[in-house]
Amino acid sequence: MGKPKVATVWLEGCSGCHMSFLDLDEKLLDILSKIDLTVTPITDFKDYEFPEVDVGIIEGGIGNQEALEIARHLRERSGILVAWGDCAVFGGINTLRNWIPREEVLRRAYIETESTVSGVLPVHPELPALLDKVRPVNEVVSVDVFVPGCPPSPEAIAYSLTEILQGRLPVLPTELIHFD
């Protein structure tokens, strides 16, 4: 059997989880030598037609139709699905908009800001529709592994990936999910 195939996506979030992944430093080289990293924002993917992968990793919440479709598609193509970071695990800071009607959020963002001149709501077929609420990943697809943190520490990411590579679904020890 070849190296496990891994795909990662960055949805509604800040990219901090992928930065923690890169912050693995030397451990990153060890992990990358053991996997085939297929689709990832690190390699600037544009096509969401994921290959079949052993491990799919989602960073970010589900806040628009495109993110919803990506999460569903990656779930279908992944043996194990991992939610990285508080946005994917809990919805994160993005859920602050959940208390405001979608139309009001859009109006404020594109029409009423202090710096806006002649604002209009952007409408284009390539712009994904905003969902009414931002959701954590497990509210739209089943998730096998949760790695919380904002962002999760490089150690928590390394632990979870190492466990998966050894054929175990990780349950993070308490010391890896605390706040300093």
- Span 153-178, pLDDT tens digits: 999 999 999 999 999 999 999 888 86
Q: Residue 41: is the preceding peptide bond cis (ω within 30°)?
A: no
Please state, in angstroms and rounded to a whole number, the distance separating the CA atoms of residues 16 and 30.
21
- The per-residue pLDDT for 180 is 55
Please state, in angstroms and rounded to a whole number, the distance separating the CA atoms of residues 169 and 101.
38
Amino acid, res. 25 = D
Q: Evaluate if residue 84 carries a pLDDT over 90.
A: yes
- Taking residues 57-63, what's their average pLDDT? 97
Decide: 74 and 84 in contact? Cβ < 8 Å.
Answer: no
The domains of the chain are located at 5-176
- The per-residue pLDDT for 42 is 79
- The per-residue pLDDT for 119 is 85
- Taking residues 66-88, what's their average pLDDT? 96
Please state, in angstroms and rounded to a whole number, the distance separating the CA atoms of residues 169 and 5.
16
3-state helix, strand, coil in the chain (%, to 5): 40, 20, 40
Could you read off the pLDDT of 98-146 as tens digits, one per residue?
A: 999 999 999 998 999 888 888 888 889 889 999 999 999 999 999 999 9
Residue 8: enclosing H or E segment and its boundaries? strand 5-10
The Cα diameter of the chain in Å comes to: 59
Q: Evaluate if residue 179 carries a pLDDT over 70.
A: no
Could you read off the pLDDT of 15-57 as tens digits, one per residue?
A: 999 999 999 989 999 999 999 999 888 776 666 678 899 999 9
Please state, in angstroms and rounded to a whole number, the distance separating the CA atoms of residues 140 and 41.
21
Which pTM value belongs to this model?
A: 0.92
- The per-residue pLDDT for 41 is 85
- Judging by beta carbons within 10 Å of its beta carbon (0-12, 13-18, 19+), is residue 172 exposed, middle or buried? buried
Q: Evaluate if residue 11 carries a pLDDT over 70.
A: yes
- The per-residue pLDDT for 43 is 74
Q: May I ask the CATH class of domain 5-176?
A: alpha beta
